[in-house]
Amino acid sequence: MLAHPRTTTDAGFQRVESVVAHEYFHNWSGNRVTCRDWFQLSLKEGFTVFRDQCFSADMHSAVVQRVEEVGILRTAQFAEDAGPMAHPVRPASFIEISNFYTLTVYEKGAAVVRMLHTLLGPDLFRQGCDIYFERHDGQAVTTDDFVKAMEDASGRDLTQFKRWYSQAGTPRLTVTDRYDALNKRYELTVNQYCPPTPEAQEKLPFHLPFSLGLLRANGSSFTFEGGETTKTLELTEAQQTFSFEGIDEKPLPSLLRDFSAPVKLSYPYTDEQLAFLLSHDDDGFNRWDAGQQLALRLINQLIDAYQQGRALELPQAFVNTWKLLLEQAPEDPAMSALLMTLPSEAYISELATEIDPIAIHKVRQFIKSELAQRFRAEWLELYQRHDSHLPYSAVPAEMARRSLRNLCLGYLMSIDDAAHLALAEQQFETADNMTDQFAALINIAHSPFNESSEQVLGNFLTQWQHESLVMNQWLMVQATDPKPGTLSKVEQLLQHPVYDSRNPNKIRSVIGAFCNQNAINFHAEDGSGYRFLADHIIQLDAQNPQIAARLLTPLTRWKRFSQKRQAMMQAQLQRIMDSGNLSGDVYEVVSKSL
């Protein structure tokens, strides 16, 4: 009823499925038992997001689902925690409640519930949920009532755990280790620290689950009690040391398995150790994360080289790692598509001390193009192998096949080659589903083949101009084009007949997409992107304050950039503040940002 393969991508199908589940689960978590006041918003939203995440993990690949969840936390929610609008999962105060329908309430709120699930185990967690629903059916309650149900089910004191609801920020864990070969003892020391946020300079230690595995030199895992290869420790202090006895060789730790807590982790892995985890770790999430860390190290090295005007080169060890990934790709297309996706520009930016959007974009594109050139034949063979002449199906195996095939097309299209353009054009013309047609569209539209780009964009418009949701995608493709001159194209799109300045989805598809997903153009050296956003914030505030406040996010992070960019971004925030009678929504965001 809500999606059709001709007009909806695989990601769209999964999103519809997730949202339907989410709203259905609200029947109990949010409706039958609801919030006493707005400060408890995560009681229903965080809890229900956790429930829909579990449902999606059961319906599709659990590892892929977990990677996608963590991607949102790491790129967007962690940035929220580090910005002027940082607030606890249960905020202490607000000017406009609409400003607190945030990733902290939803995604971090879900992560807090997940930690309870991990700490108590699935059976006790389920018992806690049963107690909560039976005890409070028909009532409006608080997060304390939810945690109390978990305490009563488990017999545990979770007082310290509740700091996750009252303290903002992303904790940072620093891990060191020591191996005593004589006594066959391995020790891990974990330090936790949470940076200051607007509501508090000093933070008390959090109570969090810290899941890990220990790998042998041959790639097998040490086993713990019950024959398990993963053990969950509990951190409650600023510094804790954990000992493991009977360890007959120095292990390589696989830390924070399945991303057991929403934290930033630091451990001195070598490149060789990360490559080993990428090949041998039996925790799917950590295997993916090891590959991301390897790529991030290279990206940061090349950013330094780019900024210093030195030539960019790919180390042979990195090339060898990708060769192995390509060879293993047919075994698990869904996992391989994840492993061979480079870290996003947003995630690279989140980890940077000072964000250089131009360098980040140039370096990431260099790595992608180099990998495409070196493995041109392998990408093409993998692309052709995962072709299918069967009718569209939304089953997980087919979604995985399409994701890997379209990843290959993306790499091939990063090479300026007419043969690869022909592949993309053929896929665009013959696709029987939006997933494949849209993948071809975005690759052609963002390529240097300007004539072909205009042609496929025109054909897509002709084909789908009466489908409003599809037109959102068409607008977004053009707004996120990294080529020079996109801002002028965006300004033209705002005058296009398919654009509606009173439709929030259209606004997000053009203005939101340009400012949030097109860093190289939004952060243009002349500040034109900042002026563009400020102009529209001022205009939109009178029409839709909620949308205007949400669009402000890129400007609120001005302190993360160079002094020149800081000055330009701050000037636009001040211009918004001085523009007149601001709504409470926009005033709250701008005043806290300045």
Query: Is the CB of residue 415 less than 8 Å from the CB of residue 373?
Result: yes
Q: Is 27 exposed, middle or buried (0-12, 13-18, 19+ CB in 10 A)?
A: exposed
CA dist 200 and 86 (Å) reads 11
User: In which residue are the tokens 């967007």 written?
Assistant: 76
**In the structure encoding, which two tokens stand for residue 343, read together?**
């870290």
Residues 6 or more apart from 447 whose CB is under 8 A from it? 413, 416, 421, 424, 453
- 534's enclosing H/E stretch is helix 528-541
**In the structure encoding, which two tokens stand for residue 510, read together?**
């053009």
The per-residue b/e assignment along 97-131, b for 16 or more CB within 10 angstroms, e otherwise, is ebbbebbbbbbbbbbbbbbbbbbbeeebbebbbeb
Q: Is 71 exposed, middle or buried (0-12, 13-18, 19+ CB in 10 A)?
A: middle
Q: Nearest CA to 61 among 324, 351, 397, 301? A: 397
Sheet holding 239-245, edge to edge: 239-245, 185-193, 172-180, 264-266
Which of helix, strand or coil describes residue 233?
Answer: strand
The beta strands (E) that lie in 107-182 are given as: 140-141, 172-180
**In the structure encoding, which two tokens stand for residue 180, read together?**
């005593």
CA dist 218 and 113 (Å) reads 36
Active site residue 370: no
**In the structure encoding, which two tokens stand for residue 469, read together?**
């949701």
CA dist 241 and 222 (Å) reads 19
Please tell me the number of Cα atoms within 13 Å of 238 on its side-chain side: 6
Query: Is the CB of residue 406 less than 8 Å from the CB of residue 429?
Result: no
Fill in the amino acid letter for 480: T
Which of helix, strand or coil describes residue 185?
Answer: strand
Distance of CA 447 to the CA centre of its chain: 25
Q: Is 248 exposed, middle or buried (0-12, 13-18, 19+ CB in 10 A)?
A: exposed
Q: Count CB-CB contacts under 10 A for residue 430.
A: 11
- 180's enclosing H/E stretch is strand 172-180
Among 17, 23, 398, 467, which one carries the catalytic annotation? 23
Catalytic residue positions, numbered: 23
